[in-house]
Structure 1
Amino acid sequence: MDTEFEVLIAGAGPTGLLLANELGLAGVRAAVVERLPCRTGWSKALNLQPRTAEVLHCRGWLAPVLDRALTLLPVGHFAGLPLDYGALDTAFPHQVGIPQARVEEFLEDHLAGYGVPVLRGRELMSFRPDADGVTVTLRGPDDAERTLRATYLVGADGGRSTVRRALGVPFPGRDARVGMAVADIELQQMEGELDAAGGSWRLPDLSPDPAGSAFLLPLGDGVHRLFLGGPEQQGVDRDAPVTEDEVRTALARCPGPPRTLRAVRWASRFTDVSRQAERYVDGRVVLAGDAAHVHAPAGGQGLNLGMQDAFNLGWKLAAVVRGWAPDGLLATYHAERHPVGARVLANTRAQMALTLPDPDAVAVRELLADLLAAPEANRHVAAMIAGTDIRYPMPGAPDHPLLGARAPGVRLDAGRGLLLADVGTPVAVAADGWRDRVDRSDALDPLDRCDRLGRGAATDGAGALLVRPDGYVCWAGRGDDADEARAALARWFGAPRAPVTRRGDSRRTTAPPS
């Protein structure tokens, strides 16, 4: 059977759709398969953290996403304790308040420009990996089965991932201890009340309370998001429907004037289960997003963690498919993202513990509130929740303040690497062999910006940086460090393009970019 797709992605959520866009940008023949026949329009998540905003900006996709947003929040929270995003070293010091469905809508619509299809109403039933690819069996809307062949399969199909379960990858962690729910509801509008979607968003009050927590967020068009976390949600099967009585009870606990429920549009249960796949890459099969990790939604990190998985994975998987990836490149996806996921699982468990109505938890919460009043402590935790403090392990000078960190302000619209170095320096000349994968720029604004952000980098005119397609610095040095630059280019972008001799010309030259 011929290989019909180079990459087949199971799951049309934000993770799968962002990954599909990254692969489409790189010219990979990809497709997304989704069990649901159409988008539901419902949203579990409601926010983009600053690092995710940077990711979208890096590709030039943030502006159209912001057009769909409801509000911008200059704060984050840790178990409801406020975090000041204004102190972060980012051009986007805020959460973007936007329903997940609107993010998915943009990403899916954008795929059309790459010719990447989303095959809806197709359920992945089974797959068989081998040395050359993966044979996948899908069931269509007419219950007919179809077999596809792909070079790689990516499971981005959620916490109950069929791909992960069939692959047999262990999913260790902790079972659920706390039950919660969300509901999108219509309220009886009070006289003189405005139905605004933005300005009235507030941080949730998650102070420990035996009666449980509840809060409202306006979503516009007469719809509010209600969070339910009380006794009524404990010990209930996750698939059990959320009742109107539960909604009314939680609504009565919300701060503010009494509200009257008109209708429940959509509701769903969730828990604080905390699990992570032991490995994200298994031969020809890769896991991303909730298929690789599940945790409580504390701090609003889940959607963002999955989208950043996709951003890390996309260019690496494309490099493997295109044939220029150096040995071990795909393995760095697990090496880099598994620790990031583990850290999110740890901080969400800590946040949930701080919301329990236990006297010891209350004491710890009060102590933490005092600590977060200190600007440095607040900035440290804010960067963790926002995702701006991620620093991947990189070969090279470990004390360089930019190595392994993101490069703020650098645009990588084409999904290629970028060498920032003065024209004519040995480093710039050494990069000629990678022109088909790495752009070059002598614009030092990004370097100066990194310096202004207080990272302490020596980014004067003699400095040079190599930035990966996902915006992280993978080499930092001086403009005359040609040998080091070549080693870094080979490490992350494979062998240089072979020199060719043009007919009638005895000179050796580098082939132009394809």
Structure 2
Amino acid sequence: MHDVVIVGAGPVGLFLACELGLVGCSVLVLEREPEPHSPFKAQPLGMRGLSVASVEAFYRRGMLHPLRTASGAHDDFDGNPGPNPDADEPSPPRGVGHFAGMVLDPAKVDVAALPFRLPGPATEHMLTYLEAVETVLSEQASHLGVEIRRGVTVSAIAQDDESVVAHAGEHEFAARWVVGCDGGRSAVRRLAGFEFIGTQPQFTGYTMHATVADPEKLRPWFNLTPTGMYLQMPTQGHIGMMDFDGGAFDRSQQPTRDHLQAVLRHVSGTDVTLSDVHIASSFTDRAMQTTTYRRGRVLLAGDAAHIHSPLGGQGLNTGIGDAMNLGWKLAATVHGYAPDGLLDTYTRERHPIGAAVLDWSRAQVAAMRPDPHGQAVQGVMRDLIETRDGTTYVFERMSGSSIRYELGSEHPLVGRNAPDLRLEDGTRLGDLMRDGRGVALDFSTDEYLRGSARGWESRMRYAAGPARNDLGLGAVLVRPDGVVAWADDRTPDPEAFERAAGHWFGGPES
């Protein structure tokens, strides 16, 4: 029997498998598709943007450099040197993205207003593609002893108080826990009886790689029009479209060249011609979420728990956040040292994040509607994102820096993603997190917390010394997912630290 069976070998399932394998869990990943390669994962249709929070997740596990290499990514989008991670002050972001197709100016981001931002190797979002992400994660999973079986379709799930069994044809896969990371049409979600609720689509979206006979008739990048939206990417022939038909076409039939050309002409207001369509797919802005992320011994993460339109590239990033949040909590439960209720904090913390992403997607759709109401909202939004405050707000939402879990503390840093604090000897917080343990950073000259940290060595790492920029902190306790669990602005209080450590990591080891 495995500790955990993960259904789905996409980025979310593989990232979760790596998190569990990193701390010694026995993990089996089941994937329906027999082969990992697909034209929808390769360039150009497989292109995805990783938010700052997701880039930090790869960085903290030592996978950022391999991912950059696999993605063919430069430090900057134009090949110029990126920001200096050793600088004293954080630099402005070089890319912000868009809201509802309205591209934002990164120069208008107020860096001083960003909460606890410090220079580091992972302060920018990153362009990659799914095949590169899955390749890096698969290699890491294999290195950690994770078993991946492909061509396996789960057809039934049965659980009791002690275990859960995933049935696939004549085969049975028993585990203490099963996690569904099997996408928007999740079999695990359906078979385990999760309630899935939300709103119906407003549009059918299309993405395609095509040969355009007259590309000069299409403007580059995002174009909101009186009849919809189209996007012409720099990659030749990579086009996206949104047709506000109520989602009528999506998956009703395979999009043909004639249909795609008709939609492109409609939303662009041109007589552009598609000579050939090499590959195409459709999607909608259907926004749905399960009411809980756990039923007994079955949990969900990523698109299995929440679906929405791809506007803003939030789906993959939200899923990676789910995996980071769940991984260490499930591992602590498997190993038997999790405090009571720890696993339930997964739903409590991540469900509101998923709900907020669904609303963020709905708001963009409302602003893109080609009717007088949508046009009016769009006008207001254009005015707002022309302001410094408006651009900064959107950047915070899209980068993940605005996320803060309610952990019962008034300290402004607690519940947030930890900045990449750096000790005077050059050691960064990210360097200390590669083994999947939490980190206690003690900036006091007398190392007040060294004795208090004893007993949790297998669950947290202790590091002490002056910091290059300690943000006025005396000490900070960081969970394995990078979230600040406790912080003290004064001389650290060992008793308060011990209470926080026990709350998140259980009792000290004997």
TM-score by length of 1: 0.84
- Residue of structure 1 equivalent to 2:417: 406
- Residue of structure 1 equivalent to 2:203: 178
- Residue of structure 2 equivalent to 1:227: 240
- Residue of structure 2 equivalent to 1:121: 151
After superposition, the Cα gap between the structure-2 partners of 1:496 and 1:41, relative to the gap in structure 1 and judged at 3 Å, is: farther
Question: Aligned letter for 1:54?
Answer: E
> Is 1:74 paired with 2:95?
yes
Please list, as runs of the form range in 1=range in 2, the aligned pairs for 1:87-236 lying within 5 A after superposition: 87=111, 89=117, 91=120, 92-139=122-169, 145-186=170-211, 203-205=221-223, 207-210=224-227, 212-219=228-235, 224-230=237-243, 234-236=247-249
Match of 2:452 among 426, 430, 445: 430
Preserved contact between residue 18 and residue 107 of structure 1 (Cα < 8 Å)? yes
- Residue of structure 1 equivalent to 2:463: 441
- Residue of structure 1 equivalent to 2:423: none
After superposition, the Cα gap between the structure-2 partners of 1:253 and 1:53, relative to the gap in structure 1 and judged at 3 Å, is: farther
Question: Aligned letter for 2:99?
Answer: F
SS of the aligned residue for 1:67 comes to: helix
SS of the aligned residue for 2:97 comes to: strand
How far, CA to CA, are the matches of 1:262 and 1:450 in structure 2? 59
Please list, as runs of the form range in 1=range in 2, the aligned pairs for 1:223-302 lying within 5 A after superposition: 224-230=237-243, 234-249=247-262, 261=274, 263-302=276-315
Preserved contact between residue 55 and residue 124 of structure 2 (Cα < 8 Å)? no
How far, CA to CA, are the matches of 2:314 and 2:18 in structure 1? 21
How far, CA to CA, are the matches of 1:102 and 1:244 in structure 2? 29
How far, CA to CA, are the matches of 2:453 and 2:272 in structure 1? 64
Question: Aligned letter for 1:466?
Answer: L
Preserved contact between residue 47 and residue 100 of structure 1 (Cα < 8 Å)? no
- Residue of structure 2 equivalent to 1:50: 52
Post-superposition shift, 1:162? 0.8
Preserved contact between residue 32 and residue 150 of structure 2 (Cα < 8 Å)? yes
Preserved contact between residue 14 and residue 100 of structure 1 (Cα < 8 Å)? yes
- Which stretch of the first structure deviates more once superposed, 416-425 or 109-118? 416-425
Preserved contact between residue 232 and residue 239 of structure 2 (Cα < 8 Å)? yes
How far, CA to CA, are the matches of 1:443 and 1:277 in structure 2? 45
After superposition, the Cα gap between the structure-2 partners of 1:237 and 1:391, relative to the gap in structure 1 and judged at 3 Å, is: closer
SS of the aligned residue for 1:149 comes to: strand
Question: Aligned letter for 2:53?
Answer: R
> Is 1:491 paired with 2:509?
no
Identity of counterpart residues, as a percentage? Answer: 37
- Residue of structure 2 equivalent to 1:419: 440
TM-score by length of 2: 0.85
Question: Aligned letter for 2:504?
Answer: W
SS of the aligned residue for 2:351 comes to: helix
How far, CA to CA, are the matches of 1:181 and 1:114 in structure 2? 38
Preserved contact between residue 179 and residue 236 of structure 1 (Cα < 8 Å)? yes
After superposition, the Cα gap between the structure-2 partners of 1:495 and 1:239, relative to the gap in structure 1 and judged at 3 Å, is: farther
1:398-418 deviations in Å (ceiling 9; x for gaps): 1x2211111121211111000
Unaligned runs of 5+ in 2: 78-93, 421-428
SS of the aligned residue for 2:417 comes to: coil
- Residue of structure 2 equivalent to 1:482: 494
SS of the aligned residue for 1:229 comes to: strand
After superposition, the Cα gap between the structure-2 partners of 1:93 and 1:250, relative to the gap in structure 1 and judged at 3 Å, is: farther
Unaligned runs of 5+ in 1: 140-144, 192-200, 452-457, 499-514
How far, CA to CA, are the matches of 1:256 and 1:24 in structure 2? 52
Matched length: 463
Match of 1:389 among 386, 397, 402: 402
- Which stretch of the first structure deviates more once superposed, 70-79 or 113-122? 70-79
Post-superposition shift, 1:426? 3.2
Preserved contact between residue 203 and residue 245 of structure 2 (Cα < 8 Å)? no
How far, CA to CA, are the matches of 1:485 and 1:93 in structure 2? 29
